[in-house]
Amino acid sequence: MEARLNLFASPLAAKALKHLTAAGKVIAADSTLPSATQDLVLLRASQINGCGFCTDMHTKDAVHAGETSVRLNLVAAWREATVFTDAERAALELTEQGTRIADAAGGVPDEVWANAAKHYDEEQLVALVSLIALINSFNRLNVIVQQPAGDYQPGQFG
């Protein structure tokens, strides 16, 4: 499989992606949102959006960071899994609702937001919402150009 566009060779894509990547680094480095939660959010949104490239990348990065295969394998079925904390479950629900925002007439339901707000402070919610928006942007870029998956190496993009 070959991508429709080579985003890695495009000077314009490099400039645009530099800003998206920088936003992700701010969230990862400067927020107190737990890194394990960030990994779960990145993976779940990528699964929902059918982004093989991001699913590959975030699974491998999570393993590299010490996440267990059991938890990663159960992200797609998190509602039935017993391996996630209540806070992680709230983040996964917000991720699903925020990713599938067009499916709900009123956007993210108040009860989903209230549940997330029980577990995360305001700055963590900013990080969580920003991360959900950011991964959805990356997913859409990769799905539109049909970016192939499977060759990613942890830390490949610094």
pLDDT tens, 54-75? 999 999 999 999 999 999 999 9
**What's domain 24-145's superfamily in CATH?**
AhpD-like (1.20.1290.10)
User: Any residues with CB less than 8 A from the CB of 98 and at least 6 apart, and which?
Assistant: 45, 108, 129, 132, 133, 136
Q: Where are the alpha helices (DSSP H) in 9-121?
A: 11-30, 35-49, 52-64, 69-74, 86-99, 110-119
Distance between CA atoms of residues 18 and 13, nearest Å:
8
Residue 41: its pLDDT value, please?
Answer: 98
Q: Report helix angle 110-119 to 86-99, nearest 10.
A: 140
Is residue 105 helix, strand or coil?
coil
Calculate Rg over the CA atoms of the chain.
15
Residue 104: its pLDDT value, please?
Answer: 78
Distance between CA atoms of residues 10 and 13, nearest Å:
5
Place of tokens 């992700």: 24
Is residue 94 helix, strand or coil?
helix
For the segment 81-96, the average pLDDT, to the nearest whole number, is 98
Residue 155: its pLDDT value, please?
Answer: 83
Domain ranges of the chain: 24-145
- Model pLDDT for residues 142-153, shown as the tens digit of each residue: 999 999 999 999
Distance between CA atoms of residues 35 and 42, nearest Å:
10
Band the pLDDT of 86: cuts 50, 70, 90. Answer: very high
- Model pLDDT for residues 105-138, shown as the tens digit of each residue: 789 999 999 999 999 999 999 999 999 999 999 9
What's the predicted TM-score (pTM) here?
0.95
Distance between CA atoms of residues 125 and 1, nearest Å:
38
Residue 87: its pLDDT value, please?
Answer: 98
- Model pLDDT for residues 14-52, shown as the tens digit of each residue: 999 999 999 999 999 999 999 999 999 999 999 999 999
Residue 102: its pLDDT value, please?
Answer: 87
